[in-house]
A and B are shown apart, each in its own frame.
Chain A
Amino acid sequence: MTTLVAIGAAIAVMTGIGAGIGIGIATAKATESIARQPEASGDINKALLLGCALAEATAIYGFVIAVLIILFLK
């Protein structure tokens, strides 16, 4: 039972893959656009931070679900 719970939690944490890829793409595009247009870096940074926060949320949900699985299915 314990191993099954651990595997379940591990699968839940896999949401981090999506968030990592998403934030990577967003940062790549942001650096590209800053290189093209350095004077707009303030606005780009703001948009990047917002995108990162929203993309990161999925990873955080996965983490919270994993913690809940471990806490309540023990």
Chain B
Amino acid sequence: MEEFASELMSQLDSKVSFVIPIFGGIPVATSIVITWGIMLFLLVLSKVFVRNLKMVPTGSQIYLESAVGWLNNFFEDILGEEGKKYLPYLGTVAIYIGCANLIGIFGITPPTKDLNVTAGLSLMSIFLIEYSGFKAKGLKGWVKSFAEPMPLLAPINFLEIFIRPLSLCMRLFGNVLGGFVVMELIKLVAPAIIPVPFSLYFDIFDGLIQTYVFVFLTSLFMKEKMEINLKN
């Protein structure tokens, strides 16, 4: 049990895979290398599938179009017409987090198990949320939106700028980490066959649900920020 605990602890901190030997050495974490791998994989996929597209879709193009259409419809339902320009970013984040969570099936450490990756993603989200409100309402409307529904709640609205990314970050990280710890415990008790159904749940189902929740909440917050209050 003692060695298991220490092994678990060693799995928790982000490892450095190599150091770039300039400016006194820049450490590159394993999660970044895996992210590069996912980027390369998605780049190759998008190059392969987008080759010779036709007006009337055939073969794999049908699946591709329905998948992209589903993703776009999902975000457009939430954001509406004025949020159309944010669709590519949200779709990209959804595909990236989905791949990052599912990569655990192949025995590679998911990058989302690193707190720094989820923190970066949620920081990007909160910037986009505030930017979308700013863009839709202008500076005055954006500042005013903190005093809604009444000025008394302004401090709480202000605190939300920090709470939202924190909760987005911790939700993704905690879920992936929790699934990982439970899987390690199951593997310790029963190394063969029994982990398979649990792996289906924790790696595939939970990973996809968390992807969905992350982009869903981001777009919901954006919608909330973009909404123009008719009273003013």
| A40 touches B (CB below 8 Å) | no
Question: Is B217's CB under 8 angstroms from A53's CB?
Answer: yes
| A67 touches B (CB below 8 Å) | yes
**In the complex the two chains form, what is the Cα distance from A56 to B12 in whole Å?**
22
A43 nearest in chain B by CB position: B77
Total inter-chain residue pairs, C-beta < 8 Å: 36
Q: Which residues of A contact B216 (CB under 8 A)?
A: 46, 49-50, 53
| A71 touches B (CB below 8 Å) | yes
**In the complex the two chains form, what is the Cα distance from A26 to B167 in whole Å?**
20
Question: Can you pick out 20 interface pairs between chain A and chain B where the beta carbons lie within 8 Å of each other?
Answer: A46-B216, A49-B209, A49-B212, A49-B213, A50-B220, A53-B171, A56-B171, A56-B175, A57-B170, A57-B171, A60-B170, A60-B171, A60-B174, A61-B170, A61-B174, A63-B174, A64-B173, A64-B174, A64-B177, A67-B177
Chain B, interface size: which category? 10 to 19
Chain A, interface size: which category? 10 to 19
Question: Is B178's CB under 8 angstroms from A63's CB?
Answer: yes
**In the complex the two chains form, what is the Cα distance from A57 to B217 in whole Å?**
12
| B9 touches A (CB below 8 Å) | yes
List residues of B whose CB falls within 8 A of some A CB: 9, 12, 167, 170-171, 173-175, 177-178, 209, 212-213, 216-217, 220
Interface residues as binary, A31-74 with B (CB distance below 8 Å gives 1, 0 otherwise): 00000000000000010011001001100110110010001000
Other-chain residue from B167, B177, B178, B212 in contact with A57 (beta carbon distance below 8 A): B167
Question: Is A60's CB under 8 angstroms from B178's CB?
Answer: yes
Q: Which residues of A contact B167 (CB under 8 A)?
A: 57
**In the complex the two chains form, what is the Cα distance from A53 to B171 in whole Å?**
8
Assuming A71-B9, A71-B12, is B213 touching A53 (CB within 8 A)?
A: yes
Other-chain residue from B9, B170, B212, B217 in contact with A64 (beta carbon distance below 8 A): B170
B87 to chain A, nearest CB (A): 18
**In the complex the two chains form, what is the Cα distance from A67 to B9 in whole Å?**
10
Question: Is B12's CB under 8 angstroms from A67's CB?
Answer: yes
Q: Which residues of B contact A46 (CB under 8 A)?
A: 216
Task: Rank and list the top 4 A-B pairs by shortest CB-CB distance, nearest first.
Answer: A60-B174, A53-B213, A64-B174, A57-B171
B210 nearest in chain A by CB position: A53
